Structure 1
């Protein structure tokens, strides 16, 4: 199938539907003509600051229309963007900037796109230098948890995103789509919420709060006609429990990122039988989704849980010794500046996920667990080894171990617990503040306990069961 560049797809929609609403941010609508023209002018400025093919531009902006314009502008220069959460601690951001070596940082403390309204950017009428790019070029970098304590930068090409929205695929994006945008910009799900509508002529509605709440979703549906939303499995369960009426009016609900809860799925389907509910599966290295499964009532009673589904367009799934390997157009180009890790995980045009799975008699993929320590908690992919590496690097800490605390459903985890040994005066509050200066908020363990020693089993391994019993 043909592959496309994100920015060229958006530009084509601006020609086809210039007056259609592209973005709604805090009640203010921006049409495609204005968005594309503003991004052209911003791209011209970025190019003068050194942005271009082969470079990575760091973007530190809150969610909103200016962020959308800036990311589109970066792509128009031929560069790739890395959206860095403004809430991340400075030490972590410093690590990421070292890896990116950006020619320019877009944000309040650097090149500041907030200095003009989008209409003012559009009125400048500037154009960036012409760039002959392809869909294989880098489009964005997503930083994910690494086992060494240093985040890994996943370099994702244009084709990895645009292949998701191919005609005939399971994701029904088009000119009528009005999608809620609530994910943090640093997540790959942000690409789904943003580029899904914009590359197909739909509308992006930016949720106003840092954390999407049921009443906020309901307000967006009522006020702006939102008909499509993505929720992590944890958030989906919470909404079903707290305020299921918030889903009223939605035509498509996409969920995933963690093992789904059949009881919550069942309650949703009984309440909203006409709403399309999809389970999406895929690591960051394959950009949002590698498989999708349209969930039906019969799935609730499956003994192996809700299926992961079948491959999305231009994607392949192979099981090698029970481990899920993914290939196709969604594959990342590798890890930024880390050829060793790239060679380890990307082999023979396949990505080794570390997830275990199986195919049922219909050829549908199911999840069976992990082959390593990686866990998903509240939609975040976390390597306990990264947290242990950071903790061990703090002078007073002698020993430490991070233990995922199991959730109520098999194969799920509700939080992280960190146990450590250190001299008197190095209490949990002290350690929490040290970790918060380096790790993103979601990776700072919920529970931190100072213990006299780390217990071990008779075979010399950490006795995680005994540690969990101390909680």
Structure 2
């Protein structure tokens, strides 16, 4: 099936393989017929509550079968969903809800006053009443989901992604053609685009999605679900992959494929994994959320660990093209470094409610008249047509797989009482990646004298992954000869 609507691909599986296992969530087991029927019944109720084409519906539920059915129901209404992380601070949740302006909020929580709420049923029995409901059957470029990521202004950016951005990944002739019999672990936060890989990669192709109950995946959990539920596909950030290979290299035994990425890979950890698990297909995936999950993938081999540039990011996935452009917007020749830009069916519509930022990052007149997204990543294409990542053009970093805009942390910190100046600085790790974030600040008066209290205040405003690991008050922020903050001098104080 080509790049179409997500819920239609799931409904197709319910018609052709109704008894095949779709979802495993602890003791809850849903086959495709039950999954699709429950979503249809819930969609009828959501439509009555205002979910319709052109609307965006926030869904605030823990990772569970109920979450998956609710998201599928929203899509059947023709609306797009925004899966919000229940662990986010209330201030961030409220900010996102205001941006979405949805007709109804799907949640079990009682303390979100001011928002019309629909609480999904506790089970998946079809109560009837969906007979007259007709699932949305419009174009595949309709919005399917909104992913919220860091914003330089301090306000989360909503990336509006269409159905085709997800379904184009899993075409039968592509590198992510999972299919019936595939079983994938669902452990990524629901607000991430990696969640789409784990959930829709299975449900649109006839595979089985197995839920990890814990908020934070551990090697023991992976090992248990491989043994108990026959999980054979999984996704890990590069940082988590490194950690797992260090503390329990054997936990991957039984997998058919493991997808990793989000940061530059450690060749030492990759080499160790390949030696221990020669039968597991290890895939490096690269792509900004603006192109949904992956723009390129690369099956990793041992020679990649000894290559001059490290492990490549690979070749484009179906429905996607990658360009290396110079500062004038022209295609760079093979071997020349330029900005990596992405075009094709994976592209988002843009940023929710921010046409200026959309126009700045999404260009309507790329090479050959294509619409493309400027990633801000530097890279090159080698003589074999394989792409390599070489760095960033701005301050954005990846820490533990999360995309971090230091300006977002600075914007929130600057609003706190007593803060006069502040700068967020990523701290390099031993492997060449950034492994934590430090915030240095100056203050006036006693309101911000205690870094512990300051960090706690930031924890009430930022998601956990964006809260600085180190908060340090300094008498002044050092500057370089050209008047810019000297981040190297600040970092030296952490080890000095």
**TM-score of the two chains, using structure 1 as the length reference:** 0.98
Give the counterpart of 1:413 among 421, 430, 434.
Answer: 434
1:335 corresponds in structure 2 to: 351
1:58 corresponds in structure 2 to: 58
Q: C-alpha separation between the residues in 1 aligned to 2:70 and 2:457? A: 33
Cα offsets for 1:262-299 (capped at 9, x unmatched):
01100110111111110000000000000000011111
1:392 corresponds in structure 2 to: 414
Q: C-alpha separation between the residues in 2 aligned to 1:130 and 1:292? A: 33
2:251 corresponds in structure 1 to: 246
2:293 corresponds in structure 1 to: 288
1:117 corresponds in structure 2 to: 123
Matched position secondary structure for 1:124: coil
Q: Is the 8 A contact 1:417 1:448 kept in 2?
A: yes
Bigger mean CA deviation after superposition, 188-197 or 23-32: 23-32
1:84 corresponds in structure 2 to: 84
1:434 counterpart = 2:457: yes
Deviation at 1:129, TM superposition (A): 4.1
Q: Is the 8 A contact 2:271 2:305 kept in 1?
A: yes
Q: Is the 8 A contact 1:42 1:113 kept in 2?
A: no
Deviation at 1:465, TM superposition (A): 1.1
2:108 corresponds in structure 1 to: 108
The number of residues matched between the two structures is 468
Deviating beyond 6 angstroms after TM superposition, the runs of 4 or more aligned structure 1 residues are: none
Q: Is the 8 A contact 1:18 1:31 kept in 2?
A: yes
Bigger mean CA deviation after superposition, 138-147 or 109-118: 109-118
2:265 corresponds in structure 1 to: 260
Deviation at 1:180, TM superposition (A): 0.3
1:68 corresponds in structure 2 to: 68
Deviation at 1:331, TM superposition (A): 0.4
Cα offsets for 1:322-374 (capped at 9, x unmatched):
00000001000100111000000000200000000011121100010000000
2:374 corresponds in structure 1 to: 352
Q: Is the 8 A contact 2:75 2:136 kept in 1?
A: no
Bigger mean CA deviation after superposition, 187-196 or 295-304: 295-304
Q: Is the 8 A contact 2:46 2:118 kept in 1?
A: no
Q: Is the 8 A contact 1:66 1:113 kept in 2?
A: no
Gaps of 5+ in 1: none
Q: Is the 8 A contact 1:37 1:125 kept in 2?
A: no
1:189 corresponds in structure 2 to: 194
Q: Is the 8 A contact 1:47 1:129 kept in 2?
A: no
Q: Is the 8 A contact 2:91 2:460 kept in 1?
A: yes
1:169 counterpart = 2:174: yes
Deviation at 1:130, TM superposition (A): 4.6
Matched position secondary structure for 2:356: helix
Aligned ranges for residues 315-334 of structure 1 at < 5 Å?
315-321=320-326, 322-334=338-350
Matched position secondary structure for 1:449: strand
Q: Is the 8 A contact 1:279 1:292 kept in 2?
A: yes
2:368 corresponds in structure 1 to: none
Q: C-alpha separation between the residues in 2 aligned to 1:264 and 1:178? A: 25
Distance 1:217 1:112, change over 3 A: farther
Q: C-alpha separation between the residues in 1 aligned to 2:129 and 2:181? A: 29
Cα offsets for 1:114-138 (capped at 9, x unmatched):
53201x2x24352434533211000
Matched position secondary structure for 2:384: coil
Q: C-alpha separation between the residues in 1 aligned to 2:169 and 2:409? A: 32
Cα offsets for 1:425-452 (capped at 9, x unmatched):
4211221122111110100000000111
Aligned ranges for residues 198-217 of structure 1 at < 5 Å?
198-217=203-222
Deviation at 1:187, TM superposition (A): 0.3
Q: CA RMSD in A?
A: 1.2
Q: C-alpha separation between the residues in 2 aligned to 1:185 and 1:52? A: 22
Deviation at 1:28, TM superposition (A): 2.2
Distance 1:458 1:397, change over 3 A: same
Cα offsets for 1:93-115 (capped at 9, x unmatched):
11111110010000013645453
Q: C-alpha separation between the residues in 1 aligned to 2:136 and 2:265? A: 43
Matched position secondary structure for 2:282: strand
